[in-house]
Structure 1
């Protein structure tokens, strides 16, 4: 008889594979059922780490290999965003005003990538924990540098799914060091899990290997909600 850990690992793997197939076929109902079943046994963050993240990483690999369409990447992200809202409940989408924004100023962005879900997960976790965070969406290096500079951002969270985008963080860091040297840059996404030294190579100040790690990282950086 297989051990519990072996059985649970296989169960998580099969559920993740099933979610991947549901996303590839844009089957929202099946995806919702899979998340509901997982949620009955795990916390919301565990569902993300055990089910959603592995499925999205596989999607990224399929995209890099030319085995799925950009439309599938985009629509699967939209489906997961909707399911995440249900998973965490309603969280205010309003951006902080100048008078309300707490210091230090915190922002999150996807750098030159097409999959926004990693950013959405981290943003949801932060807002659930009481942080105010500016969401810059998808940006290129120059636009992101200007947004950070003009808004006086002190901590920038950068999410990437594909390796080329992760490598572009080096250019982002170099530009920010020139115009806003005190900004701290935290990176996250699949490429940094595959290469545990990549975040250092691109010059980031910290790396989050899962959505749940972001709160501990901000605590180390002495960033309070």
Structure 2
């Protein structure tokens, strides 16, 4: 079960155009004209998040450049920081979350997920890419992570996630693990086989899963 999703903003297409044009001024103006003061999350969920996700989908379809995706993410994160500065009480800071690309060095998917989660008001630690399984286990324990997102590009890394998840669950049974990436999209049962709690097909899926897992713990 996931939370109801509000309908997209009428200015969504214009926001996408501003992002693809790397027009910070226009994007900021659209947000200012669209958003109601005091309701940042509604604006983020109906305008900023779907616009960024659409940019990601268009890159996957080969319609836009990687540089446009990267800059779109930067612009969206700047908008979020302006609306909800780090440490703002309206940000959702708990439970503690982290994301890592296990062993692989393909970071685009992770970047989109991080941007979407931050646009949704969540704080998340980015452990980067090329993270080895044994190092990930140590990081999760050290930082007392409660929701861990693991991204993989290749099947061998996805399979090695099984050992990492098992060790994490043994040490911290309360930690929830969401996996994502090509191997899990190709095999719809793989996420279960590696011991994860859920799989996110897209960034919006992941945002919905995080909301559900956070439950009443979010602040």
User: How does the TM-score come out when normalised to structure 2?
Assistant: 0.65
Whether the 8 Å contact between 2:140 and 2:168 is mirrored in structure 1 is no
C-alpha deviation, 1:146, in angstroms: 0.8
Query: SS at 1:20's partner residue?
Result: helix
Cα offset for 1:55? 1.4
SS of 2:99's equivalent in the other structure is: strand
Structure 1 residues 26-175: aligned runs within 5 Å: 26-40=22-36, 43-91=39-87, 106-111=96-101, 112-114=106-108, 116-122=111-117, 125-127=121-123, 135-142=125-132, 145-152=134-141, 153-158=144-149, 165=153, 170-171=158-159, 173-175=161-163
**How far apart, CA to CA, are the structure 2 residues paired with 1:42 and 1:198?**
42
Kept in 1, the 8 Å contact 2:137–2:167? The answer is no
In 2 relative to 1, CA 218–63 (structure 1 residues): closer, same or farther, beyond 3 Å?
Answer: same
Aligned length: 192
- How many angstroms apart in 1 are the aligned matches of 2:78 and 2:177? 25
Contact 1:109–1:139 under 8 Å retained in 2: no
| Contact kept? 1:107, 1:157, Cα under 8 Å | yes
Structure 2: any 5+ residue segments left out of the alignment?
Answer: 1-5, 89-93
Q: Decide whether the 8 Å contact of 1:186 with 1:204 is kept in 2.
A: yes
When residues 177 and 109 of structure 1 are mapped into structure 2, their CA distance, relative to the original with a 3 A threshold, is closer
How many angstroms does 1:174 deviate by?
Answer: 0.9
Q: Show structure 1 runs of 5+ residues with no match.
A: 1-7, 93-103, 128-132
Bigger drift between 76-85 and 149-158 goes to 149-158
**SS of residue in 2 equivalent to 1:125:** coil
**CA 1:174–1:53: 2 relative to 1, 3 Å:** same
Runs of 4+ in 1 over 6 A off after TM superposition: 166-169, 188-192, 195-198
- Looking at structure 1, the residues matched to 53 and 112 of structure 2 have their Cα atoms a distance apart, in angstroms, of 11
Residue number among 198, 201, 204 corresponding to 2:196 in the alignment: 204
Counterpart of 1:186 in structure 2 is 177
